């Protein structure tokens, strides 16, 4: 499929979006819904705001769209300042180089599919004068999202997935520099979500349009994004690639939110000059890698973080367990899951989860040795 030629006004060497110190307190409230939000989106990137319900994702997106006025901060698009609280600059939504796909799709029921798609070219920021051009361009994009055959159908007579694709087509036809998407797949069933997230990513790459995507679904965020911003209670927890978020979470919140994690509270520990942390916990002693900037010395808080796939459950007298300091534990749950086995063990007043390749060799009540190797656990300072 050939991509439609779009004129992008953002010079290639500029960040498409720069958000600096953004904060928003809704009217009548002293509390900030979002605070200290700072990030950049390079040209053509797919960036996702990820976090639990109420953490401020929609607020951030709506401030960028100009649908909400931030209390503090600055927003630049393609080098132009579109919002600056201190100088009171606030470019109107329709004059910002964006298109937004809201959660509810925003499809107009009294129009056909083609009329919906063509609407921004008739009335939007970048109007197209030639009627024939409008139709050709709209049909071209409808073709790409698989809706050309439905062009003359009333838009209400589309399935949820088709409406979602129409909303996306219409947003692309605004010819935006930046595409804003607020949980566009959230109303769809699980299978369709997975299929459409792949399609959406494909369209985004074909059109090369810079995209800011909002979701609370970590799998969606990991699968689609170049960069993910994990938000918690109105603030940024971590900005990283999907791989880095999974392998090197910086906080226990991120470790727990992305995939699953065993978080073992530290009683006392020592940060060595090499960056290794030796930590004493109720489970036992661990040597951990660290990504936090830890100054050498004593530690009294934080966590040892280990992914379930890095928690090995072995027979008590297993040679490796004996040689490498396996910790005595008791199995509390054991399940065969086809491609792997999931085992919970009780140790030191905690339950640790393990995920290993099969077969299942233990059952609840068994005494076992648990082994978490130094390279497989991480020290997190909060």
Stretch in the footprint of ligand ATP (CB under 6 A) among 50-58, 70-78, 296-304, 360-368 = 50-58
Rounded Cα gap, residues 180 and 192, in angstroms: 21
- β-bridge pairing 46-50 and 227-232: parallel
- Among 23, 50, 55, 221, contact with ligand ATP (rule: CB under 6 A): 55
Strand order in the sheet with 34-42: 34-42, 15-24, 72-77, 80-84, 89-90
20, two tokens: 């600096």
74 binds ligand ATP (CB under 6 A): no
Is 60 near Mg ion (CB under 5 A)? no
**Residues between 129 and 148 with contacts to ligand ATP, criterion CB under 6 A:** none
Pairwise CA distance, residues 260 & 51, whole Å: 15
58 binds ligand ATP (CB under 6 A): yes
Instruction: Give the containing element (helix H, strand E) for 97.
Output: none
The two structure tokens encoding residue 67: 């649908």
Q: Which does 59 bind (CB under 5 to 8 A by kind): Mg ion, ligand ATP, none?
A: ligand ATP
Residues 176-235 that bind ligand ATP (CB under 6 A): 216
How many whole angstroms separate alpha carbon 211 and alpha carbon 175? Answer: 12
Smallest gap from residue 45 Cβ to ligand ATP (A): 21
> Cβ closer to ligand ATP: 58 or 116?
58
In angstroms, rounded to a whole number, what is the distance separating the alpha carbons of residues 268 and 111?
A: 66
* Residue 252 in contact with Mg ion, rule: CB under 5 A: no
- Any contact of residue 58 with Mg ion (CB under 5 A)? yes
54 interacts with ligand ATP by CB under 6 A? yes
Segment interacting with Mg ion, rule: CB under 5 A, options 16-24, 52-60, 143-151, 310-318? 52-60
The yes or no reply on residue 104 touching ligand ATP (CB under 6 A) is no
The whole-angstrom distance between residue 34's C-alpha and the CA centroid of its chain comes to: 17
227 token code pair: 């960069």
Residue (58 or 290) nearer to Mg ion, CB: 58
**What's the min distance (Å) between Cβ of 31 and Mg ion?**
17
């Amino acid at each position: 499929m050939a991509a439609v030629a779009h004129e992008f006004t953002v010079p290639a060497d500029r960040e498409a979006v720069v958000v600096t110190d953004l904060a928003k307190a809704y009217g009548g409230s002293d509390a900030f819904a979002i605070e200290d939000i700072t990030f950049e989106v390079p040209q053509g990137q797919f960036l996702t705001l990820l976090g639990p319900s109420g953490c401020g994702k929609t607020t951030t997106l709506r401030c960028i769209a100009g649908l909400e006025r931030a209390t503090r901060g600055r927003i630049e698009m393609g080098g132009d300042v579109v919002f600056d609280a201190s100088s009171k600059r606030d470019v109107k939504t329709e004059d910002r180089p964006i298109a937004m796909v809201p959660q509810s799709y925003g499809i107009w029921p009294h129009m056909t599919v083609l009329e919906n798609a063509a609407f921004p070219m008739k009335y939007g920021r970048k109007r197209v004068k030639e009627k024939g051009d409008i139709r050709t361009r709209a049909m071209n994009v409808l073709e790409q999202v698989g809706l050309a055959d439905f062009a003359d159908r009333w838009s209400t007579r589309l399935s949820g997935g088709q409406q979602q694709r129409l909303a996306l087509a219409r947003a692309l036809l605004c010819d935006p520099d930046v595409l804003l998407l607020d949980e566009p797949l959230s109303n769809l069933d699980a299978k369709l979500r997975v299929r459409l997230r792949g399609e959406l990513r494909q369209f985004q790459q074909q059109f090369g349009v810079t995209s800011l995507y909002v979701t609370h679904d970590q799998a969606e965020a990991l699968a689609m994004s170049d960069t993910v911003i994990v938000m918690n209670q109105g603030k940024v927890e971590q900005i990283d690639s999907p791989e880095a978020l999974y392998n090197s979470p910086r906080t226990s919140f991120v470790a727990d939110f992305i995939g699953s994690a065993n978080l073992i509270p530290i009683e006392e520990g020592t940060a060595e000059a090499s960056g290794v942390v030796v930590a004493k916990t109720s489970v036992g002693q661990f040597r951990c890698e660290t990504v936090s900037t830890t100054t050498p010395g004593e530690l009294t808080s934080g966590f040892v973080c280990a992914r379930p796939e890095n928690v090995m459950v072995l027979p008590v007298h297993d040679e490796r367990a004996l040689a490498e300091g396996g910790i005595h534990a008791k199995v509390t749950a054991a399940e065969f899951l086809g491609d792997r086995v999931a085992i919970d063990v009780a140790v030191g007043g905690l339950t640790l989860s393990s995920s290993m390749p099969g077969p299942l060799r233990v059952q609840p009540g068994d005494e076992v040795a648990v082994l978490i190797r130094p390279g497989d656990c991480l020290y997190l300072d909060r």
